[in-house]
Copies of this chain bind each other. A is one copy, B any other.
Amino acid sequence: MPLTFEILATDGEARRGRLITPHGVVETPAFMPVGTLGAVKGVTPQELEAAGASILLSNLYHLALRPGIDTVERLGGLHAFAGWRRPILTDSGGFQVWSLGGLRTVDVDGVTFRSHLDGSALRFTPEGVVSLQERMGVDVAMVLDECTTWPVERAAAAASWERTLEWARRARAAWQGGPGGLFGIVQGSVYPDLRERAAREVAALDFDGYAIGGVAVGEPLAERRAVVEWTAPALPADRPRYLMGVGYPADILHAVASGVDLFDCVLPARNARHGVLFTRRGTLKIKNARFKDDPLPLDEECGCPACARTSRAFLHHLFRCGELTAAVLATLHNVRYYLDFMAEIRQAIGLGALTDRLARRTTGEDSPEGPDLEVLPVSSDPREQRSN
């Protein structure tokens, strides 16, 4: 087996695990920072390691457009190309192709789309997508799926699932064995029976892990959480479970409590670039004038490069001046915040204390600074959590 997954402890449905890959071990539940093109925006590979990232997510779709998979392969695979030595998971491109809307056409054999860059035509097939990811040498490859939009009629969601299941079968058959593992993806929109059937059917194909796709595409928070609650427990207990593209810390905590092990989201990095910073006491909109003279670090319990050296006032200053270092320091902070949050989650599961220890933290209710800190809603438009 190219991938090994061990469960070390449980706390209700939550699992504390360990995913062993060709490029190292991922302690789960884990958050995968998003390096669409091979690097988290503004962050060196060394800094990302120092922040505690054990696995990076990249996007097949974007890499296929630029620089092209031939180039990545010639340069020794994605790890050598990007200078990242720990595990890598690549998304198959299903979500990105879905995002193209009118620029793509889906048929029974795959999807043809036009590059969002130059309009040139490309085609992804279930077999081709598997092969491209194997050629890049990633630790976890994803099958090609059709990500249903929201809202979608039940009949359309069911028909879409039939196609995605057939693609999953073809991907499984085309898989040459690695170097890494291959994950299947469950779709089914917000229909519980579809999701449960999809989980059962994809599990029968014996993938190395299973993802919950088709969430964070515009549906309300309650719908998204219901999908996770139905689907995660229906997936094989002995394989890692990955919730694609989610989300805010409260969303992650909820999903962990439902039995999910892996997460990715652009939120920490993208919010950072906009000056929205996560802290243990709430979310700071650092450009606000109230931070002009604030000598405190962004978060007094954080060990990121920004918090180790500078203040809210300095970050405020750098953002107000439009300095590049603002985005760099803010991204290092937010990514570190997410990774520290996952470490706390893992510790809490080991202690059987997940709910007690972390529930209040993610709502900001325990903030002693009250209205001085802006606490953003934990459930703003989920579409924001996925778009690049």
Contacts and interface: CB of A to CB of B under 8 A. Distances in A.
A193 B295 CA distance: 50
A354 to B, nearest CB: 33
For this chain, the copies found in one complex come to: 2
A82 interface: yes
A81 B314 CA distance: 6
B83 A42 contact: no
Contact of A309 (B45, B321, B323): B45
A338 B386 CA distance: 40
A7 B112 CA distance: 69
A147 B295 CA distance: 36
A300 interface: no
Contact of A305 (B46, B71, B309): B46
Interface string A282-322: 00000000001101000000000110111101101110110
A205 interface: no
Given A324-B324, A324-B327, A325-B39, A313 B44 contact: no
Interface of A: 37-47, 66-67, 71, 74-76, 80-84, 273, 292-293, 295, 305-306, 308-311, 313-314, 316-318, 320-321, 323-325, 327-329, 332
A292 B46 contact: no
B83 A310 contact: yes
Contacts of A308: 46, 83
A43 B42 CA distance: 9
A323 B41 contact: yes
Nearest to A329: B44
B293 A40 contact: no
B75 A313 contact: yes
Given A37-B323, A66-B320, A81-B313, A44 B292 contact: no
Q: Which of A293, A313, A320 has most B Cβ within 10 Å?
A: A313
Given A41-B323, A44-B325, A67-B313, 6 more contacts: A45-B305, A46-B309, A67-B320, A71-B292, A74-B293, A328-B328
